A and B are shown apart, each in its own frame.
Chain A
């Protein structure tokens, strides 16, 4: 098969993996080498679906011996199959990189022959790139579930990021939809990568030249909507992964039906709005000190998709508001819809010099259109309506209806390129 046809097949098969972020690593170039990686990430193009392209995202092979129900590459799916060689992937990467098409490589794969064989091919590709081509750009590689931990560690020494995809948020669903994969084969490498990342970080604190191991952290992906788990369960899982497996990011991917299967829901469109809300909730856990429980008040099992989860939380906890801009501490400010970590910090800093007037507040960056319902400034409440629960709820819902739905569709899938912690 011609290289171009292979690329077509293998990029097409890789596109459902949304985790295309290239940020969080800074790797310096060597004089004779090629590439470095920018900690804030660079988008090189945007595809017709509006998603940022920053990496050459491709599979090594889309042949697979397994038959996971949700996956386009499942063995029983009738579609063209192709495999690269390690050298082909390396040369494509180098040539794309040189022309500034990409920030680096994101290499995933179906399972050909057996997990170890597949993982060996991935490691060989990475080795070629780093050692022979002296490539210092960004590399994200998948760890193949069930492959030898030694191979996975080898990949970890060469890559910036490693991910093992959990895909299904519970053991039962995994059993049901991906019967050949065991939960242990997924969780075990994650756990080991996680502790090795912790060790490497510790060592580097002590000796500057200690070896790097997965410097941009490990991530995983969860498919949303292929199985019955509630948002609460999904967020609990994500929270556990962040705290005990040293995970950098959890990605959520709205399920897209690829082939009818009686075990799967028959969806016409992928649940993009749900995906968007999960990203927002995830954000609140990581940057806003929220606990999972707080987002599911009244024992709801799912988020309220009509509103941004932070706004929703605020409306359900109006007894905590309004807060006074000149008094509330950082954490209280952070809880105000429309105030993000950056503007909260600015407010706290500015306050040390001078009392903040409403005019000044505008310049400190909060989205006042939202925040105004939840704050007072120098004692004055300026929402234009009295501070009453019923009135505020009506007003806020009205205001959000138009713009938020639109936003949800606009931003669906481009979450990854928002700068961390910048969103209010």
Chain B
């Protein structure tokens, strides 16, 4: 049994794809280094991330298959749902034979997997574009903790880099404990342990209160519909939602 182990990064993953393509063999198992569990019967191969190979694979996917498929693969990678690596690898492998049609192939289970994962990621991304909440820190940095299912911080950072271009901010994935920090049109991923001084600015509490007051005032009592509310804004997103966070405890 062939078992590939990579470092869990997208670069590492694309390097792995490079290996698969050159050896023309799909491994039986793929693990990121954190989820790696040694297995007596498997032939473990550790794959080191190599930027140059990864770039070549990325270019080839865009050129030989399509940009749309590349986006789908990237989002599938971010989804981190069970089996995403293998489905994405098989999708790419097949894509090099059948071209962009692979994306529309309704009979291929891996294509279906990738499309579904992409959709889940896009949905969560769209949701948090609205539901992410920044808090102003004493250091005048905006700080947003959240706990997404998928690894969407980078995609969110792209969105906010255009919207809050002149601010400095941090998006903190509490589940994975990774933070994206932004300033001056650039952003970077760091382990969350490196964050310090997360003290709120003096005015922060006032704006939270104002927001909660607005949130309460804007609702029409005669049209009360909590079911619709939690359908659009499920409880799992309430943890860091200023207007709801006290309802979760």
Residues of chain A whose beta carbon lies under 8 Å from any beta carbon of chain B: 3-4, 7-8, 11-12, 14-16, 28-29, 31-36, 38, 42-54, 56-58, 92, 95-96, 98-101, 256, 269-270, 272, 360, 363, 409-414
B45 in the interface, Cβ–Cβ < 8 Å? no
A409 contacts across to B, CB distance below 8 A: 225
B225 to chain A minimum Cβ distance, whole angstroms, is 4
Give A15 to B162 CA distance when docked, in angstroms.
30
A36 to B133, CA, bound (A): 17
Question: In the complex, A412→B214 CA distance in Å?
Answer: 21
| Cβ B217 vs Cβ A11 within 8 A | yes
Q: Whole-angstrom distance from the CB of A364 to the nearest CB of chain B? A: 10
Whether the pair A363, B106 counts as a contact (CB closer than 8 A) is yes
Pick from A8, A43, A57: contact of B232, CB under 8 Å: A43
Min distance, Cβ A26 to any Cβ of chain B, angstroms = 11
Query: In the bound complex, do residue B167 and residue A15 qualify as a contact, i.e. CB atoms below 8 Å apart?
Result: no
| Complex contact B136–A99 (CB within 8 A) | yes
Interface residues in B, total, Cβ within 8 A: 48
B154 → A minimal CB distance (Å): 17
Question: Which residues, 147 to 169 on B, are CB-close (under 8 Å) to A?
Answer: 160, 162-167
Interface-lining segment among B25-33, B34-42, B63-71, B203-211: B203-211
Contact A7 B132 (CB under 8 A): no
Complex: chain B residue closest to A52, CB-CB: B232
Can you name the residue of chain B whose Cβ is closest to the Cβ of A360? B106
Residues A44 and B130 in contact in the complex (CB < 8 Å), given A11-B217, A34-B166, A99-B211 = yes
Known A4-B213, A45-B233, A46-B228; contact A413-B223, beta-carbon cutoff 8 A? yes
Report the separation of the CA atoms of residues A256 and B134 in the bound assembly, to the nearest whole angstrom: 36
Q: Is B1 an interface residue (CB 8 A)?
A: no
- Docked pose: A32 CA to B166 CA in angstroms: 5
Beyond A49-B220, A49-B229, 13 additional contacts (C-beta under 8 Å) are A11-B217, A31-B185, A35-B164, A36-B162, A38-B129, A42-B130, A45-B131, A46-B229, A95-B203, A96-B211, A98-B134, A98-B164, A411-B228
Instruction: Tell me the minimal C-beta distance from A385 to chain B in angstroms.
Output: 29
Is B73 on the interface with A (CB-CB < 8 A)?
Answer: no
